A and B are shown apart, each in its own frame.
Chain A
């Protein structure tokens, strides 16, 4: 193949375009038009699940798609890898990685988990790990990650320790204490903890984790490798992979970083973890390093990975760029969360400093949600009858747990996870507030409907 193209080594140093000094910042009405393709009449307060993508980035994506369709061979030989390298370089600078070779682009965090766990599985198969050596993770780890562990690790003799995330939670210390206990369990009986999987921001329930401290503890306690699943992080919190210090770090770019579906970056620290990581879809680039393997997994549409520079342009139209957006999303999510908790007589699931652009708010006990199924029903009801899109988290009480009571005196069993992104308005949350109040005031329990 074209060896001079393949490695795509470039001395060109990409810098995010500087914010235009004299141009104005993006206006409210420009933001509305960037998201004009969102369905009107829906309070879309679930950016956390599927993210969003502004019209100008979609338009750039279409240009990339068209370029491929126009002359796909030329695109493959002369355009694709350079474009991907540019995206990777932008990401590398944003996350403070040392080397662009540490940054690969993949579809999503689910794919990155498959990569890490397949590698881990090989350790057991090749006999480098003992039977029952452990993987330690939180119980709220994303379902696909848990399944990936089952598929690749448990199957070949590894064992898992799940740390229950304290929730509702009031401080980082609670999480750290629980995690320490989990590591102890993982090391019991002479076993080695081969991998710790830590969410930077858990999904459900949503909490910002003290990830630096947790990684530090892992190193102190002799955990072999640490994988930070930061699906929500990029565009939610500052991401500094050197500071965080994990071996593997993945974040979706289509959730909070305005890329179209789907794109994620996967960081593998050099030396420790860079070897024997492979994309599970093997192409002729196998063995050329994960970034190169991931840049060609057969014919497909790579356009969502190519628009990262376009996203930077979009971000820089906002006051404070991505940092400004993150701060405003956080402040608004907290403000709206407090507004809802006050209106419903309930609570926030975590203190403001442990929220990001998302917050968990207790639902009134009068709703009498008693299972995950009930939560799903409520979510559907809100979507279909109230024009509100928001995910519901159900948490039953464990043995001996008293739970948290709301102003009505009942136990809070479920939470909504609200998101705030640049397209959201106060009216979105007011609509949710009023819908829940209406449901609460129904003479018959909601679930009879």
Chain B
């Protein structure tokens, strides 16, 4: 039976990584029922996971780094990686049998797990894709068809946040603008003081979209913006969209599951996507796209890579986009088991991440004499911390230079955001660090960051003048 000892100690974890198990049987043809049991993490022990076990689960992380950027690429514990490898080997052993017998039912099980996690009504509403970027292509493609085929008028609007993710903006350009739709960007304040500011600006944008008899066909809203990172009052915005007659609402929650509360019925959007490899411990990469049932019957909802499953519904299409490695999608049930080894499960993890990142954010802003980018209640497990203005970050390029310097000189990984100063601001804070907190982080990670910035300040570094 293919199951792992639990939990792997550090040596075993490292070994498993460098010397993957070779599954070879010994002779006779195996009956078809072999490997019908999925690889599983051992049943939950009464003891919760200990700090040293957590450390060993992430022993493959570069130990020299203060890794305070979980938000960009997420993380995956060693025991899940090992299970992923089991799935990969299962395919490699006998790919035809895997394709015919194993793949589809196990993807279906992953989808069922996700449905329960996010409180969706039907498993048909859940499709699994690579990442939120792919999900955006799916939703925007159907919008594009509506424009092309005249169901939407030229000039009808798609409303999105100015801080929408770069790839999503390009997707809107490629699929919507190109097909004749008009794009309205909602300028959000940053730093932000309250959710009301966001709600107000959003309302205005909808008004603009509806001017001159046009309609707002799609509102594309982040649940948690990426850069700068702020938790958006999504329930309220969806409600406003319904009141104002917006056709469809698409929530881009790349930082969703494992970061904020993700309840489809409560949020009420038509489409909702979240990566699982960011805050839900999945290996790269796997995400889900939720499509509320009424939209599900849309004939235009298709995976952009058309396979033989075309026309069988988005979920089925997404489960086969040609030969590739689906293993990240297959470990989802095992992740739930991993998470349940933590006190309070995923909610406990979220709570502790939030409290820690706020605490560390406050510590840093006090140490540097700066401020947070938003009030604590508008952040989840990431927070924007102002950097001393004397560092002279005056452009995106300066921000990148600072990030690179932190990585190369101090072994600190943290993304930096350039915030353009407002007119009349005196001594503005133009650089913000987006710090993340995940279960593998320690206070020392943030102390190192504090000290590194203090050192740069003491050395009189000005990024405006750095040519490197």
Contacts and interface: CB of A to CB of B under 8 A. Distances in A.
Interface of A: 1-2, 36-42, 44, 46, 49-53, 55, 58-59, 62, 66, 68-74, 76-77, 107-111, 113-114, 117-118, 125, 143-144, 147-148, 150-152, 156, 252, 254, 260-262, 278, 280-287, 297-301, 304, 380, 383-384, 387, 389, 391
Interface string B399-417: 0100010010000010100
B93 A39 contact: yes
B413 A71 contact: yes
Contact of A37 (B22, B32, B81): B22
B29 A143 contact: no
Contacts of B321: 107, 110-111
Given A50-B96, A53-B92, A73-B73, A37 B24 contact: yes
Interface string B246-286: 00000000000000000000000000000101000001110
Contact of A252 (B18, B100, B304, B323): B323
A352 B407 CA distance: 59
B325 interface: yes
A282 B174 contact: yes
A384 B32 contact: yes
A56 B62 CA distance: 24
A297 B22 contact: no
B212 to A, nearest CB: 25
Given A37-B89, A152-B306, A286-B174, A74 B284 contact: no
A114 B60 CA distance: 37
B22 A283 contact: no
A404 to B, nearest CB: 27
B22 A55 contact: yes
B116 interface: no
A301 B328 contact: yes
Contacts of B174: 278, 282, 286
B457 to A, nearest CB: 23
Contacts of A42: 29, 94
Given A44-B94, A261-B325, 14 more contacts: A49-B96, A68-B284, A77-B404, A110-B306, A110-B322, A114-B306, A143-B307, A261-B324, A280-B305, A282-B171, A282-B174, A284-B166, A299-B277, A383-B97
Interface residues of B, number: 79
20 contacts: A39-B93, A40-B27, A41-B27, A42-B94, A49-B96, A70-B61, A73-B72, A76-B72, A107-B322, A110-B307, A143-B307, A147-B306, A150-B306, A152-B306, A261-B91, A280-B304, A285-B170, A298-B285, A299-B277, A304-B325
Interface string B144-176: 000010000000000000000011011101110
Nearest to A299: B285
B28 A37 contact: no
A260 to B, nearest CB: 7
Which of B61, B81, B321 counts the most chain A CB atoms within 10 A? B321
Contacts of A46: 96
A37 B170 CA distance: 42
